[in-house]
Protein backbone atom coordinates (compact mmCIF):
# COMPACT_ATOMS: atom_id res chain seq x y z
CA UNK A 1 0.00 0.00 0.00
CA UNK A 2 2.83 2.38 0.84
CA UNK A 3 4.49 1.64 -2.51
CA UNK A 4 1.24 2.37 -4.32
CA UNK A 5 0.88 5.72 -2.52
CA UNK A 6 4.46 6.64 -3.44
CA UNK A 7 3.89 5.78 -7.10
CA UNK A 8 0.68 7.80 -7.14
CA UNK A 9 2.42 10.80 -5.58
CA UNK A 10 5.30 10.49 -8.08
CA UNK A 11 2.86 10.33 -11.00
CA UNK A 12 1.03 13.46 -9.85
CA UNK A 13 4.28 15.31 -9.19
CA UNK A 14 5.62 14.34 -12.63
CA UNK A 15 2.46 15.68 -14.28
CA UNK A 16 2.75 18.98 -12.40
CA UNK A 17 6.42 19.34 -13.38
CA UNK A 18 5.55 18.72 -17.04
CA UNK A 19 2.78 21.33 -16.90
CA UNK A 20 5.19 23.89 -15.44
CA UNK A 21 7.78 23.11 -18.11
CA UNK A 22 5.13 23.46 -20.82
CA UNK A 23 3.94 26.79 -19.41
CA UNK A 24 7.50 28.08 -19.11
CA UNK A 25 8.23 27.08 -22.68
CA UNK A 26 5.12 28.85 -23.91
CA UNK A 27 6.22 32.02 -22.12
CA UNK A 28 9.62 31.83 -23.81
CA UNK A 29 7.91 31.74 -27.21
CA UNK A 30 6.58 35.21 -26.56
CA UNK A 31 10.10 36.63 -26.84
CA UNK A 32 10.49 39.24 -29.55
CA UNK A 33 11.77 38.07 -32.92
CA UNK A 34 14.24 40.94 -32.68
CA UNK A 35 16.33 38.90 -30.26
CA UNK A 36 16.56 36.09 -32.80
CA UNK A 37 17.41 38.45 -35.65
CA UNK A 38 20.20 39.96 -33.61
CA UNK A 39 21.94 36.59 -33.67
CA UNK A 40 22.23 36.67 -37.47
CA UNK A 41 25.24 38.96 -37.37
CA UNK A 42 27.09 41.09 -34.83
CA UNK A 43 27.09 43.94 -37.35
CA UNK A 44 23.33 44.52 -37.12
CA UNK A 45 21.94 47.34 -34.99
CA UNK A 46 18.76 49.42 -34.63
CA UNK A 47 16.51 46.56 -35.62
CA UNK A 48 12.90 47.61 -36.17
CA UNK A 49 9.83 45.82 -37.52
CA UNK A 50 8.37 47.09 -40.79
CA UNK A 51 5.55 44.56 -41.21
CA UNK A 52 4.59 41.11 -39.98
CA UNK A 53 7.50 39.27 -41.61
CA UNK A 54 9.78 42.14 -42.57
CA UNK A 55 12.37 44.03 -40.50
CA UNK A 56 14.87 46.82 -41.06
CA UNK A 57 18.35 47.03 -39.55
CA UNK A 58 21.43 49.24 -39.78
CA UNK A 59 24.96 47.98 -40.20
CA UNK A 60 27.61 49.10 -37.75
CA UNK A 61 30.27 49.35 -40.46
CA UNK A 62 27.91 51.02 -42.97
CA UNK A 63 25.19 53.03 -41.16
CA UNK A 64 24.04 54.62 -44.42
CA UNK A 65 23.29 51.23 -46.03
CA UNK A 66 20.39 49.67 -44.11
CA UNK A 67 19.32 46.08 -44.68
CA UNK A 68 15.91 44.55 -45.12
CA UNK A 69 15.41 41.28 -43.23
CA UNK A 70 12.60 38.86 -44.03
CA UNK A 71 11.53 35.86 -42.00
CA UNK A 72 9.88 32.72 -43.36
CA UNK A 73 9.09 29.26 -42.04
CA UNK A 74 8.49 25.86 -43.54
CA UNK A 75 7.25 22.60 -42.01
CA UNK A 76 10.18 20.35 -41.16
CA UNK A 77 10.63 17.00 -39.46
CA UNK A 78 10.18 18.27 -35.88
CA UNK A 79 7.85 21.18 -36.66
CA UNK A 80 8.22 24.65 -38.20
CA UNK A 81 11.74 25.69 -39.20
CA UNK A 82 12.23 29.47 -39.42
CA UNK A 83 14.93 31.19 -41.47
CA UNK A 84 15.98 34.80 -42.01
CA UNK A 85 17.43 36.48 -45.09
CA UNK A 86 18.98 39.97 -45.12
CA UNK A 87 19.52 42.01 -48.32
CA UNK A 88 20.84 45.51 -48.98
CA UNK A 89 19.23 48.30 -50.98
CA UNK A 90 20.60 46.93 -54.25
CA UNK A 91 18.96 43.55 -53.73
CA UNK A 92 22.16 41.72 -52.84
CA UNK A 93 21.87 39.05 -50.16
CA UNK A 94 24.17 39.79 -47.22
CA UNK A 95 23.19 37.30 -44.54
CA UNK A 96 21.16 34.09 -44.25
CA UNK A 97 20.55 32.16 -41.06
CA UNK A 98 18.38 29.58 -39.35
CA UNK A 99 16.87 31.42 -36.39
CA UNK A 100 14.70 28.70 -34.87
CA UNK A 101 14.10 25.01 -35.42
CA UNK A 102 12.69 22.02 -33.59
CA UNK A 103 14.57 19.49 -35.70
CA UNK A 104 17.06 17.15 -34.08
CA UNK A 105 20.28 19.08 -33.58
CA UNK A 106 22.51 16.44 -35.19
CA UNK A 107 20.51 16.43 -38.43
CA UNK A 108 20.44 20.23 -38.56
CA UNK A 109 24.17 20.40 -37.88
CA UNK A 110 24.76 17.98 -40.74
CA UNK A 111 22.85 20.28 -43.09
CA UNK A 112 24.77 23.39 -42.03
CA UNK A 113 28.14 21.61 -42.13
CA UNK A 114 27.42 20.60 -45.72
CA UNK A 115 27.32 24.30 -46.59
CA UNK A 116 23.68 24.64 -47.60
CA UNK A 117 23.67 28.32 -46.56
CA UNK A 118 27.04 29.26 -48.05
CA UNK A 119 25.99 29.87 -51.70
CA UNK A 120 23.36 32.54 -50.86
CA UNK A 121 25.36 35.60 -49.63
CA UNK A 122 26.48 37.74 -52.57
CA UNK A 123 23.67 36.66 -54.91
CA UNK A 124 20.76 38.81 -56.05
CA UNK A 125 17.25 38.28 -54.76
CA UNK A 126 16.00 37.37 -58.23
CA UNK A 127 18.92 35.01 -58.95
CA UNK A 128 19.03 32.57 -56.08
CA UNK A 129 21.58 29.76 -56.33
CA UNK A 130 20.44 26.26 -57.22
CA UNK A 131 21.26 24.23 -54.13
CA UNK A 132 20.56 20.51 -53.73
CA UNK A 133 19.09 19.01 -50.57
CA UNK A 134 21.56 17.28 -48.27
CA UNK A 135 21.41 13.50 -48.51
CA UNK A 136 20.37 11.93 -45.20
CA UNK A 137 18.69 15.15 -44.04
CA UNK A 138 16.42 15.87 -46.98
CA UNK A 139 13.46 17.10 -44.94
CA UNK A 140 15.44 19.69 -42.97
CA UNK A 141 17.38 20.97 -45.98
CA UNK A 142 14.24 21.22 -48.11
CA UNK A 143 12.57 23.29 -45.39
CA UNK A 144 15.59 25.63 -45.26
CA UNK A 145 15.72 26.14 -49.02
CA UNK A 146 11.98 26.72 -49.26
CA UNK A 147 12.07 29.23 -46.42
CA UNK A 148 14.95 31.20 -47.95
CA UNK A 149 13.15 31.34 -51.30
CA UNK A 150 10.04 32.70 -49.61
CA UNK A 151 12.03 35.24 -47.57
CA UNK A 152 13.77 36.49 -50.73
CA UNK A 153 10.38 36.90 -52.45
CA UNK A 154 9.11 38.98 -49.53
CA UNK A 155 12.02 41.41 -49.67
CA UNK A 156 11.76 41.65 -53.46
CA UNK A 157 8.05 42.49 -53.18
CA UNK A 158 8.73 45.13 -50.52
CA UNK A 159 11.37 46.82 -52.68
CA UNK A 160 8.89 47.02 -55.58
CA UNK A 161 6.07 48.25 -53.38
CA UNK A 162 4.02 45.14 -54.09
CA UNK A 163 1.97 43.16 -51.54
CA UNK A 164 4.13 40.80 -49.58
CA UNK A 165 3.60 37.11 -50.42
CA UNK A 166 1.65 35.25 -47.76
CA UNK A 167 2.87 32.16 -46.02
CA UNK A 168 3.48 29.49 -48.63
CA UNK A 169 0.70 27.00 -49.14
CA UNK A 170 1.37 23.40 -48.17
CA UNK A 171 2.99 21.38 -50.90
CA UNK A 172 1.42 18.36 -52.57
CA UNK A 173 0.82 15.26 -50.51
CA UNK A 174 4.02 13.26 -50.24
CA UNK A 175 3.27 9.73 -51.39
CA UNK A 176 6.30 8.41 -49.56
CA UNK A 177 4.98 9.74 -46.26
CA UNK A 178 1.58 8.21 -46.95
CA UNK A 179 3.29 4.87 -47.60
CA UNK A 180 5.16 5.21 -44.31
CA UNK A 181 1.95 5.78 -42.34
CA UNK A 182 0.18 2.92 -44.12
CA UNK A 183 3.10 0.58 -43.38
CA UNK A 184 3.02 1.57 -39.70
CA UNK A 185 -0.73 0.95 -39.47
CA UNK A 186 -0.28 -2.43 -41.17
CA UNK A 187 2.51 -3.42 -38.79
CA UNK A 188 0.40 -2.60 -35.74
CA UNK A 189 -2.50 -4.53 -37.24
CA UNK A 190 -0.21 -7.54 -37.69
CA UNK A 191 1.05 -7.16 -34.11
CA UNK A 192 -2.52 -7.26 -32.80
CA UNK A 193 -3.24 -10.33 -34.92
CA UNK A 194 -0.15 -12.21 -33.74
CA UNK A 195 -0.93 -11.39 -30.11
CA UNK A 196 -4.60 -12.34 -30.49
CA UNK A 197 -6.24 -15.65 -29.64
CA UNK A 198 -7.12 -16.40 -33.25
CA UNK A 199 -3.55 -16.46 -34.51
CA UNK A 200 -3.27 -20.01 -35.92
CA UNK A 201 0.50 -20.41 -36.04
CA UNK A 202 3.42 -20.16 -33.65
CA UNK A 203 3.40 -16.80 -31.87
CA UNK A 204 7.15 -17.08 -31.37
CA UNK A 205 7.75 -17.33 -35.11
CA UNK A 206 5.18 -14.64 -35.82
CA UNK A 207 6.88 -12.28 -33.39
CA UNK A 208 10.29 -13.01 -34.94
CA UNK A 209 8.89 -12.25 -38.39
CA UNK A 210 7.41 -8.94 -37.17
CA UNK A 211 10.71 -7.92 -35.56
CA UNK A 212 12.52 -8.65 -38.81
CA UNK A 213 10.06 -6.76 -41.00
CA UNK A 214 9.90 -3.75 -38.67
CA UNK A 215 13.70 -3.57 -38.58
CA UNK A 216 13.80 -3.44 -42.37
CA UNK A 217 10.93 -0.95 -42.72
CA UNK A 218 10.92 1.27 -39.62
CA UNK A 219 14.65 1.01 -39.06
CA UNK A 220 16.65 0.73 -42.26
CA UNK A 221 14.22 1.93 -44.94
CA UNK A 222 12.14 4.62 -43.19
CA UNK A 223 14.16 5.33 -40.03
CA UNK A 224 10.91 5.95 -38.17
CA UNK A 225 11.01 5.17 -34.48
CA UNK A 226 9.20 7.34 -31.99
CA UNK A 227 11.08 8.70 -28.99
CA UNK A 228 10.74 11.32 -26.25
CA UNK A 229 11.15 13.93 -29.00
CA UNK A 230 7.91 12.62 -30.52
CA UNK A 231 6.17 12.90 -27.16
CA UNK A 232 7.38 16.49 -26.89
CA UNK A 233 6.05 17.21 -30.36
CA UNK A 234 2.61 15.96 -29.36
CA UNK A 235 2.43 17.73 -25.98
CA UNK A 236 3.88 21.05 -27.16
CA UNK A 237 1.44 21.25 -30.07
CA UNK A 238 4.22 21.66 -32.62
CA UNK A 239 2.45 19.22 -34.94
CA UNK A 240 -0.43 21.71 -35.36
CA UNK A 241 1.87 24.06 -37.28
CA UNK A 242 2.69 21.45 -39.89
CA UNK A 243 5.19 18.63 -40.20
CA UNK A 244 7.06 17.26 -43.15
CA UNK A 245 6.61 13.76 -41.72
CA UNK A 246 3.90 12.54 -39.35
CA UNK A 247 5.15 8.95 -39.36
CA UNK A 248 6.79 8.97 -35.92
CA UNK A 249 3.74 10.69 -34.41
CA UNK A 250 1.41 8.12 -35.98
CA UNK A 251 3.64 5.35 -34.63
CA UNK A 252 3.48 6.77 -31.09
CA UNK A 253 -0.29 7.29 -31.10
CA UNK A 254 -0.88 3.74 -32.36
CA UNK A 255 1.56 2.31 -29.79
CA UNK A 256 -0.33 3.98 -26.94
CA UNK A 257 -3.72 2.95 -28.38
CA UNK A 258 -2.64 -0.68 -28.71
CA UNK A 259 -1.23 -0.58 -25.18
CA UNK A 260 -4.59 0.54 -23.81
CA UNK A 261 -6.45 -2.10 -25.82
CA UNK A 262 -4.24 -5.09 -25.08
CA UNK A 263 -2.58 -4.16 -21.77
CA UNK A 264 0.67 -5.13 -23.52
CA UNK A 265 3.44 -2.97 -24.91
CA UNK A 266 3.38 -4.60 -28.34
CA UNK A 267 5.51 -1.88 -29.92
CA UNK A 268 8.53 -2.52 -27.72
CA UNK A 269 7.98 -6.28 -27.77
CA UNK A 270 7.38 -6.86 -31.48
CA UNK A 271 7.96 -3.71 -33.55
CA UNK A 272 10.82 -1.60 -32.14
CA UNK A 273 13.72 -1.85 -34.65
CA UNK A 274 16.44 -1.09 -32.12
CA UNK A 275 14.97 -3.63 -29.72
CA UNK A 276 15.02 -6.17 -32.53
CA UNK A 277 18.72 -5.50 -33.18
CA UNK A 278 19.54 -5.99 -29.50
CA UNK A 279 17.51 -9.18 -29.31
CA UNK A 280 19.12 -10.55 -32.44
CA UNK A 281 22.59 -9.96 -31.05
CA UNK A 282 21.56 -11.56 -27.76
CA UNK A 283 20.44 -14.71 -29.55
CA UNK A 284 23.97 -15.17 -30.88
CA UNK A 285 25.33 -15.66 -27.37
CA UNK A 286 22.14 -16.90 -25.71
CA UNK A 287 22.39 -14.29 -22.95
CA UNK A 288 19.72 -13.61 -20.33
CA UNK A 289 17.92 -10.33 -19.57
CA UNK A 290 19.44 -8.11 -16.87
CA UNK A 291 17.75 -7.71 -13.52
CA UNK A 292 15.86 -4.44 -13.36
CA UNK A 293 16.31 -3.20 -9.80
CA UNK A 294 14.11 -0.44 -8.33
CA UNK A 295 16.89 2.16 -8.39
CA UNK A 296 17.52 1.46 -12.08
CA UNK A 297 13.83 1.80 -12.81
CA UNK A 298 13.48 5.12 -11.00
CA UNK A 299 16.74 6.46 -12.41
CA UNK A 300 15.48 5.85 -15.97
CA UNK A 301 12.19 7.53 -15.11
CA UNK A 302 13.90 10.60 -13.65
CA UNK A 303 16.18 10.96 -16.69
CA UNK A 304 13.21 10.67 -19.04
CA UNK A 305 11.24 13.25 -17.05
CA UNK A 306 14.17 15.68 -16.97
CA UNK A 307 14.78 15.33 -20.72
CA UNK A 308 11.11 15.83 -21.57
CA UNK A 309 10.86 18.88 -19.29
CA UNK A 310 13.93 20.42 -20.93
CA UNK A 311 12.43 19.84 -24.37
CA UNK A 312 9.12 21.43 -23.36
CA UNK A 313 10.77 24.44 -21.74
CA UNK A 314 13.16 25.15 -24.61
CA UNK A 315 10.61 24.01 -27.22
CA UNK A 316 13.25 21.88 -28.89
CA UNK A 317 12.87 18.11 -29.30
CA UNK A 318 16.64 17.73 -29.51
CA UNK A 319 16.73 18.43 -25.78
CA UNK A 320 14.92 15.11 -25.30
CA UNK A 321 16.83 13.13 -27.91
CA UNK A 322 19.45 10.92 -26.34
CA UNK A 323 18.23 7.60 -27.73
CA UNK A 324 20.66 5.81 -30.06
CA UNK A 325 18.08 5.10 -32.80
CA UNK A 326 19.43 7.64 -35.27
CA UNK A 327 23.02 6.52 -34.86
CA UNK A 328 22.07 2.85 -35.14
CA UNK A 329 20.25 3.21 -38.47
CA UNK A 330 21.35 6.54 -39.98
CA UNK A 331 24.85 6.85 -38.49
CA UNK A 332 24.02 10.45 -37.62
CA UNK A 333 24.76 11.92 -34.21
CA UNK A 334 27.39 13.18 -31.82
CA UNK A 335 30.51 11.35 -30.69
CA UNK A 336 28.85 10.71 -27.32
CA UNK A 337 25.84 9.16 -29.05
CA UNK A 338 28.17 7.00 -31.16
CA UNK A 339 29.93 5.77 -28.01
CA UNK A 340 26.59 5.04 -26.34
CA UNK A 341 25.31 3.12 -29.36
CA UNK A 342 28.51 1.08 -29.55
CA UNK A 343 28.29 0.28 -25.83
CA UNK A 344 24.67 -0.89 -26.20
CA UNK A 345 25.54 -3.04 -29.21
CA UNK A 346 28.44 -4.68 -27.38
CA UNK A 347 26.35 -5.03 -24.23
CA UNK A 348 23.65 -6.84 -26.21
CA UNK A 349 26.07 -9.74 -26.61
CA UNK A 350 26.30 -10.08 -22.82
CA UNK A 351 22.77 -9.30 -21.60
CA UNK A 352 19.45 -9.43 -23.44
CA UNK A 353 18.12 -6.02 -24.58
CA UNK A 354 20.21 -3.88 -22.18
CA UNK A 355 18.96 -0.54 -23.50
CA UNK A 356 15.29 -1.57 -23.49
CA UNK A 357 15.35 -2.98 -19.97
CA UNK A 358 17.62 -0.51 -18.19
CA UNK A 359 17.88 2.82 -19.99
CA UNK A 360 15.19 3.35 -22.61
CA UNK A 361 13.00 6.39 -21.79
CA UNK A 362 10.14 4.88 -23.81
CA UNK A 363 10.02 2.05 -21.27
CA UNK A 364 9.71 4.64 -18.51
CA UNK A 365 6.98 6.38 -20.51
CA UNK A 366 4.96 3.19 -20.83
CA UNK A 367 5.46 2.55 -17.10
CA UNK A 368 3.76 5.88 -16.46
CA UNK A 369 0.98 5.26 -19.00
CA UNK A 370 0.42 1.82 -17.50
CA UNK A 371 0.11 3.27 -14.00
CA UNK A 372 -2.41 5.87 -15.18
CA UNK A 373 -4.32 3.18 -17.06
CA UNK A 374 -4.53 0.96 -13.99
CA UNK A 375 -5.72 3.85 -11.83
CA UNK A 376 -8.36 4.74 -14.41
CA UNK A 377 -9.58 1.14 -14.63
CA UNK A 378 -9.81 0.81 -10.85
CA UNK A 379 -11.78 4.03 -10.63
CA UNK A 380 -14.09 2.94 -13.45
CA UNK A 381 -14.72 -0.49 -11.92
CA UNK A 382 -15.38 1.12 -8.56
CA UNK A 383 -17.91 3.52 -10.08
CA UNK A 384 -19.85 0.87 -12.01
CA UNK A 385 -19.76 -1.80 -9.26
CA UNK A 386 -23.28 -2.13 -7.76
CA UNK A 387 -23.49 -0.93 -4.20
CA UNK A 388 -24.53 -3.38 -1.51
CA UNK A 389 -28.01 -3.02 -0.11
CA UNK A 390 -28.14 -1.57 3.40
Task: For the chain, give every domain's residue range.
Answer: 2-24+175-384, 50-160
Instruction: Using only the alpha carbons of the chain, give its radius of gyration.
Output: 25
CATH pick for 50-160 out of 3.90.1010, 3.30.70, 2.60.120, 1.20.1300: 3.90.1010
User: Per-10-residue mean pLDDT for the chain, 390 residues long?
Assistant: 76 91 80 72 85 87 87 84 91 90 76 90 91 81 91 89 64 75 94 91 93 93 86 84 85 92 89 94 92 86 91 77 80 80 94 92 88 71 47
DSSP H helices, the chain, are 2-28, 33-38, 105-113, 138-160, 175-195, 203-214, 228-236, 247-262, 266, 273-285, 294-314, 325-330, 335-347, 354, 361-384
- Rounded CA-CA distance 36/117 in Å is 17
Residue 390: per-residue pLDDT? 39
pLDDT of 190 reads 94
pLDDT the model gives residue 378: 65
Amino acid sequence: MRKQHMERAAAILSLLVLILAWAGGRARLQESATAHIQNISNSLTNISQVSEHLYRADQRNAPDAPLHIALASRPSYGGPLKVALAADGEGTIRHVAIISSTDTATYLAKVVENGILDPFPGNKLDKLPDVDAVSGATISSTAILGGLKEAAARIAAARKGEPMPAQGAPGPVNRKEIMKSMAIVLLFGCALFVAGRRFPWSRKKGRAALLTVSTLLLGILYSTQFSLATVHLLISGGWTQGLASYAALVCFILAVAVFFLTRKNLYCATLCPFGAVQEGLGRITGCSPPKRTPWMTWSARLVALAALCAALFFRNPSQASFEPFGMAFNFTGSDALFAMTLAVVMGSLMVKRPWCRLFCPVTALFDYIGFVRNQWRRRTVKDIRPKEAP
